[in-house]
Amino acid sequence: MSRLLVRSFALSLDGFGAGPNQDLQNPLGVNGPDLMQWFFPLRAWRHMQGLPGGETGVDNEMAERGFGGLGAWILGRNMFGPVRGPWPDDSWKGWWGEEPPYHVPVFVLTHHPRPSFRMKGGTEFHFVTDGIHAALDRARAAAGDRDIRLGGGVSTIRQYLQARLIDELHLAVRPVLLGAGEALFHGLDARALGYECVEHVAGERATHVFLRRRVDVGPTSA
């Protein structure tokens, strides 16, 4: 069965996975780009943008690991865009332009229904209004024996963690202080939920920590 994976998710030293006050101007929240400074110089990022070059060190190797063997993605609505509440129309098609970097079906969690649509390069956006388990079921059906990547944001990852549905998380811990924002672990006992660190690797601009759900701990029932 395909695994549900979090990959290359950046975390500040003080525990934030996004800055405060996300909006169209600050899709990662205020100071959120500090989280991503490890990622932007990499070949992996430039390749996503269709650009040549980029750094090829440890950080890049860790980032590239996150793109192999994926058959579907799941995103929280705020990862898909800044629009809140009912969709006013179908004009917002994501942050990524005509050809998003997914190339597989992407399931977007939302409370507000919207028709699926297809973009250049094979990305399909589907909108799931009946919760995280339904989104995962649909992603599994789409992914076949490939893996599913859970893109975020913080509250979406927290919901899947709480339900013990994530098989593995790769966090890129950044030596920066955000001071405020969305805390990944606050009030959530990941140890009691069955997660443990299985690997840590020092990169150029982040420490890469891999957490895995212990094999003796299953997901909670739906």
CA angle, residues 111, 112, 115, in degrees to nearest 5: 130
Among 31, 60, 78, 110, binds a second copy (CB under 8 A): 31
How many residues touch a second copy under the rule CB under 8 A: the total is 29
Q: Which stretch binds a second copy (CB under 8 A): 92-100, 109-117, 181-189, 212-220?
A: 181-189
Q: CA-CA distance, 105 to 166, in Å (whole number)?
A: 19
Instruction: Tell which one of 54, 180, 212, 219 touches a second copy (CB under 8 A).
Output: 180
| The token pair that represents 107 in the structure block | 């399931």
State yes or no: residue 84 binds a second copy (CB under 8 A).
Answer: no
Nearer to a second copy, 19 or 94 (CB): 19
Contact status: 155 vs a second copy (CB under 8 A): no
Which residues make beta-bridge pairs with 208? Answer: 172, 201
Nearer to a second copy, 4 or 173 (CB): 173
Phi, psi of 135 (to 5 degrees): -60, -40
Distances (CA, A) of 177 to 15, 22, 149, 210: 9, 17, 27, 21
The answer to whether 196 and 214 are in contact (CB under 8 A) is yes
Applying the rule CB under 8 A, the residues between 87 and 116 that interact with a second copy are none
Residues near a second copy, by CB under 8 A:
13-15, 31, 171, 173, 175-180, 183-186, 189-193, 195-197, 200, 202, 207, 209, 211
